[in-house]
Amino acid sequence: MALPLELETVESIKSRYPMAIRTVWNRQEILDGKRPGMMREHVFDFEDGFRIIANRECLPDGMVCLHFSFSMEEDSSACKAMVACDHDMRKLIEMAMEHVEIMGGPSRQTSPSQSFMTSGGILHFLYSARNPMMN
């Protein structure tokens, strides 16, 4: 179950971000249902309605990565921006990268190691530990 929306200032988000990536999650914990998105310390609700769930996790191959997932509150300014551009995937990726950078994560000039969208329409970015901009 998703946590209720709690809009935050950028300053609040920036101050909380380091705590969200402090612990390395075991991938099996996530697969077993203990998800970062169920814990407020990993959930960031921007004032424009953009939500990011951020965590550091260990993948099955032993690689540690930063994992970001993205969603938008219905009827938010972020959602309206997507509608205005006819749901252009490039716009969503651009918005996601901008929000990650704003919160203190990797810069927009740093491409994720992996990106994918789930069947539920949730965009995910993974940044590997080999990436020097991982923070």
- pLDDT per position as a tens digit, 75-105: 777 666 766 666 677 888 888 899 999 999 9
**Using 50, 70 and 90 to split pLDDT, how confident is the model at 51?**
very high
The answer as to whether 28 is a domain residue is yes
With H, G, I as helix, E, B as strand and everything else as coil, classify residue 115.
strand
Domain assignment present for 133 = no
- Report residue 129's pLDDT band, with 50, 70 and 90 as the boundaries: low
Average pLDDT, rounded, for the chain:
86
pLDDT at 70: 92
Domain that residue 84 falls in: 7-128
| Separation of alpha carbons 49 and 79, rounded Å | 7
Task: Give the residue-averaged pLDDT of 106-125.
Answer: 88
In a domain, 1, yes or no: no
The one-character DSSP state at 42 is G
User: What pTM did the predictor assign?
Assistant: 0.87
In the block, tokens 């969603």 appear at: 71
